[in-house]
Copies of this chain bind each other. A is one copy, B any other.
């Protein structure tokens, strides 16, 4: 299992899990390789029994592939906790270096790291950290984009993408931040949020990448 193949499995999981097939096009976009390269690599991985291909339709992880993907995510998120909690990383820095470190996550290491960090439930960006046995209970969250004016809620999870993370951190948004939606622009217009200390505006696109708890 090379770092390369690991990335294919991880992205396949993130894009579809066990729910639905993932197209080669999506894979080629997130992995930034040519579609032909995706076909080729997926064929190898399917021969290894890690995923199943429906030709021209898409592919999906097998239980074996799932196990590997989840352990990568576990490593990634534990490393993020370490980098932010102990080394003073920013959100986006932590994500970047965790992308490298996740490929060095034998269970001997991740299990001990987990203990050292005192078994954190969430990564700094709000994603659930799978347990050592691969178990992972995702919370049911909603998109900020689906809130209405007047709703009050809490930031629970954000998608991990460098520029987006920097943008959020500059705005002062953190996991757990409580806010009230004070206005929602029409036609995918911006959301205005009242935080504890200040009011900020975020684009509709950003609102689609932020998960929040049920509003009250």
Segment at the interface with B among A35-43, A106-114, A175-183: A106-114
Check B109–A97 contact: CB distance below 8 A.
Answer: yes
| A100 CB-CB contact with B under 8 Å | yes
| A7 CB-CB contact with B under 8 Å | no
Bound form: Cα–Cα A95–B108 in Å:
13
| A56 CB-CB contact with B under 8 Å | no
- Nearest CB in chain B: distance from A29 CB, A: 25
Bound form: Cα–Cα A108–B94 in Å:
11
Check B108–A93 contact: CB distance below 8 A.
Answer: yes
Q: Which residue of B lies closest to A93 (CB)?
A: B108
| A89 CB-CB contact with B under 8 Å | yes
Taking CB atoms and an 8 Å cut-off, the chain A residues in 177-196 that contact chain B are none
Choose from B97, B113, B116 the contact partner of A106 (Cβ within 8 Å).
B97
Check A104–B112 contact: CB distance below 8 A.
Answer: no
Q: Which residues of B contact A87 (CB under 8 A)?
A: 109, 112-113, 115-116
Q: Which residue of B lies closest to A101 (CB)?
A: B104
- Nearest CB in chain B: distance from A85 CB, A: 10
- Nearest CB in chain B: distance from A97 CB, A: 6
Taking CB atoms and an 8 Å cut-off, the chain A residues in 74-112 that contact chain B are 83, 86-89, 93, 97, 100-101, 104, 106, 108-109, 112
Q: Which residues of B contact A108 (CB under 8 A)?
A: 93, 97
Choose from B93, B104, B115 the contact partner of A97 (Cβ within 8 Å).
B104
Choose from B89, B93, B116 the contact partner of A86 (Cβ within 8 Å).
B116
Q: Which residue of B lies closest to A3 (CB)?
A: B3
- Nearest CB in chain B: distance from A6 CB, A: 13
A contact set with B: CB distance below 8 Å: 83, 86-89, 93, 97, 100-101, 104, 106, 108-109, 112-113, 115-116
The 9 closest A-B pairs by CB, nearest first: A87-B112, A100-B104, A86-B116, A87-B116, A97-B109, A101-B104, A88-B112, A104-B104, A87-B113
Interface CB pairs A-B, < 8 A, 12: A83-B109, A86-B116, A87-B109, A87-B113, A87-B115, A93-B108, A97-B104, A97-B108, A97-B109, A101-B101, A101-B104, A104-B104
